[in-house]
Structure 1
Amino acid sequence: MVFKLNSNPILLVDHDQLFSAALAALLEEKGLEVEPALPSIEAALELVETGLEPAMIITDPAGFSLDSEGDPLQRLREQLPDVRLLVISSDMSQEALGRSLAAGAHGHVSKGASFNAVLRAVRLVQQGQAVYPAVAAQLLGQGPVSVSAENAAAGGNADLSPREMQILACVLGGHSNKAIARRLVITESTVKMHFKNAMRKINASNRTQAAIWAMEHGIAPMA
C-alpha cells in the first residue's frame, strides 16, 4: 500500500549526504515524495523561503555546530513552527535527546535503527504521535516515555482543564507562547497563565519537563 503524508514532500537535512540519499531512495520506494537532501540548516531555510512547504523535516543536528545563530533544531522550529520535525541521529545521548525535546521535535530515533523502524517512526509522527526511546524520560529523571496513539482520559491528567491540556499539546508540538495564542485565539498573557497553572499541577519546572509529562500521559502534539 502506498503511504502518503499529504501533497507536500519530506525534506531531509543532514551533513551526511550518503545516508540522506539512501534514506530518500528507500522512502520514495514506499511512495513518499522526498526533496533532494540538503547539507545544512541554512540551505533548508533558504529553500523554504522560495515557497516550499514540507510536510516533515528529517534531520540530524549532530552534524551542525552551535554558533551565533543558536541551536539548529530551535532555528528550524522557530522558522517552521507548524512542520513536523523528526530527528534521526547517531547521537542518542541525554544531551541530544534533551535538545530534541526542548525544541519540540516530534521524534528522535537512532541512525542505527532498521529502515522499517524509521518508516514506522515517520508514520507515527505524521499521525501526531511522539516517537522517543523509552530511556529519554528516564535519563531526564521523569520515568518512561509513552508513545500511545490515544490521549489519556482527562481525569488521569492531574485535573488539568481542557484549555491547559490544549496548551500542553501545543507545547509538545514545539509552538511558542505567541504561536499558541494565535492558534487558540487568546492573548499571550492568557497562554502564560494557563501554562503556569498546568506546570504547577504536573510539578514541572520548565518546558522540557512539561513536554515529557505530556508524552507520558498520552497527549498528542498539536501540529
Structure 2
Amino acid sequence: MHVPTSFPTVTSEEALADAIDAVGRPEFVPATLDYLRLAAPFHGCLALIFESGKRPVHVYDNVRAERRAVVIDRYLDGAYLLDPFREYFQSSRGDAVARLRDVAPDRFRNSTYYQSYYSHIRLKDEIGIFVALASGKTLFFSIGPMGPERDFSAADARGLRRVLPVLSALCRRHFDRYDPGETGSLAVNIEEVLTQGPGACLTPRESQIAGLILKGHSTEAIARMIGISGGTVKLHRKNIYRKLGISSQGELFNLLLSEMTKA
C-alpha cells in the first residue's frame, strides 16, 4: 500500500475539526484518516462498502497505481470471498474494531489465500474498522501498520475503539449525504461459486469443505465446525482434488478466482 510521506502534526481537536468540515465533500475520507492516525498510526487504507450478499463497493484507497491490479482489482474480482474481515461482517453487525488475529481462522497464515494474496500486497497485519450506516450497509476500513515487520498492538486497537463513536457519527453524517453507488450484483457465497464450472461435480458438503479450506481452517477446526471426524474431512479433501483434477490448495484458489472473473 502507499506510504504517506508525512503524518498529521495537528492536535486531535484540529484534525477532528478538519474531518467535520469535510463532511459531504470529496476530501472527507482522507481528512478522517488523518484524525484516525492520531489514535493509532497506520500507513495504507482501503475503504469499502459491505452489504450482505453483494460484492463490496470501492470507496477509497491510497494504493500506488502500479500496485492496484494486485491489491485492489484482485480483491474485488473475488478474493474478498475469503477475507476473514468480510466473514466477520457476515456474522456480526454494528460498529467494531478488530485485529486480524481476532477474526482469522486457526491456519489462516498457512492458507493459499494468505500466501497468494497477503504476501503479494505486503500486508503482515491488519485492523478492520466497521461502521454501520443508516442505509443498512456497512462502511469498512482496512488499515495496514507502519512498516512491513510491524504488527498492530493492543494499544493501537484500544485507541481506535476509543474514537470509534466519533468516527461512526462522522461517517454516518457524511454517507447520509453521499452514496457511493449500489453495491455490485449479487455475489453468491464461496460454496456456490465452487459448484460452478468445473466445480459442478462437487456435492454441497464438498463445496462447503473446499470453502473452509480456502479460508484457512485446519482439518481439526473444520471437523468441529460441521460435526464430522478429521479423517472424514481428509477424505472429502482427497475427493475434491480428484474431481477437480487438481493437487493443491493453490490450484483450488486459482479455480475460485477464475470462476469469479466470469461472473
User: Which category of TM-score, normalised to the shorter sequence, fits these structures?
Assistant: 0.3 to 0.5
Name which one, 1 or 2, has greater alpha-carbon Rg: 2
Structure (1 or 2) with the greater helix fraction: 2
TM-score normalized with structure 2 length: 0.34
Q: TM-score, normalised by structure 1?
A: 0.39
